[in-house]
Amino acid sequence: MYPKIEISQSKLKHNSKTMCDLFTPRGVSIMGVTKCFCAIPEAAQAMVDGGISMLADSRINNLKRLAEIPVKKVLLRLPMHNEIEDVVRYADYSLNSELSTLKLLGKAAVSLGKVHNIIIMVDLGDLREGVWAEDIDKFTSEAVRISGIKIKGFGANLTCYGGVIPDETNLGNLVKISEKMKEKYNLEIEIVSGGNSSSVYLMSENRFPSGINNLRLGEILLLGRETAYGKVVNGMHRDTFTLKAEIIELKDKPSVPIGNIGMDAFGNIPSHEDRGIIRRGIIAVGRQDIDPDGLFPTDNKIDILGASSDHTILDVTNSSSEYKVGDIVEFHMDYSCLLRASTSEYVDKIMVD
């Protein structure tokens, strides 16, 4: 069936192992983040085979899919009040920043005969989730009184909303906060989680702050790219995921539309470069399934001209391959395109070696 994504088990394992080899000897554990491939269990298993010791996802539905894999599970997105019981059932840890949610988690844990582990998120300035640093003491003082939960760590998320780059100052602050709270409230701190794929560069530059003992890594394991500066990391595979789509029309036509130009299907006013008559291929995949700006043909002589909901239009004029209708074209993807392709039910997903 097409379109489909092929996921290379060996490349995902290799990327995971490369990161584990870098971080494990320095006492930093890695949570393998599975949300970008909807937690397909075989792909998550490839991460574990590469040495990943915890799996993390933003959605409880995804964590349910991972229940059979015997490693600790972490819920990355702050829990919703309407999913509390499932959080306690399917996640060993959750990231939190709201006392009302902690109270519900505690209550659910008590009634299920469990203790739920909490990582308190601190907002270091990126302005997505997290308790503001000045409010941490008060927050922690109230959180420790809630039964059924145990505070096992502190964490921060950077370079997500605000684009703030992790460094010695902001991550150093997280370490200080964690140590202070540990001391003051006698906490058993296991995890000081210093961010995502944007924190990896600090280790490569030997600037990784001591006291940070965990990262939550998604993109770098999947696409081989650190996300502070967007650099591909040496020895990592960028082509773990391949999108394959079928050509359904192939014709020589002008490069510029004919007639008065209004809006396209998405309300934008299109502009077109005049390349004369070109060979245009339409593949059966569209914005429901991909982000045309994040799609990279493996045949680098192909240009992507645009996409509507269900069609993507290619210029194959300069390609050395003689494409025919029914042929399959291959692409690699960036993070946003991969996320969309993974969540599209119209795209088949298969594991390959």
Ligand X SMILES: *Cc1c(COP(=O)(O)O)cnc(C)c1O
- Least distance in Å: CB of 64 to ligand X? 18
- Least distance in Å: CB of 148 to ligand X? 23
Catalytic residue among 35, 73, 103, 244: 35
Q: 237 vs 280, which CB is nearer to ligand X? A: 237
Residues that bind ligand X (CB under 6 A): 33, 35, 58, 76, 157, 196-197, 216-220, 227
Q: 8 vs 227, which CB is nearer to ligand X? A: 227
CA dist 83 and 100 (Å) reads 13
CA dist 201 and 43 (Å) reads 25
- Least distance in Å: CB of 176 to ligand X? 21
Asked if 35 is an active-site residue, the reply is yes
Q: Which residue is nearest to ligand X (CB)?
A: 218
Q: 156 vs 295, which CB is nearer to ligand X? A: 156
Q: 94 vs 312, which CB is nearer to ligand X? A: 94
CA dist 228 → 147, 151, 156, 206, 337 (Å): 38, 29, 15, 15, 19
CA dist 76 and 51 (Å) reads 20
Burial code (b: 16+ CB inside 10 Å, e: under 16) for 315-339 equals bbbebeeebeeeeebebbbbbebbb
Cβ contacts of residue 280 below 8 Å, gap of 6+? 249, 250, 251, 252, 253, 305, 313, 314, 315, 316
- Least distance in Å: CB of 223 to ligand X? 9
- 29, β-bridge pairs: 214
* Active-site amino acid positions: 35
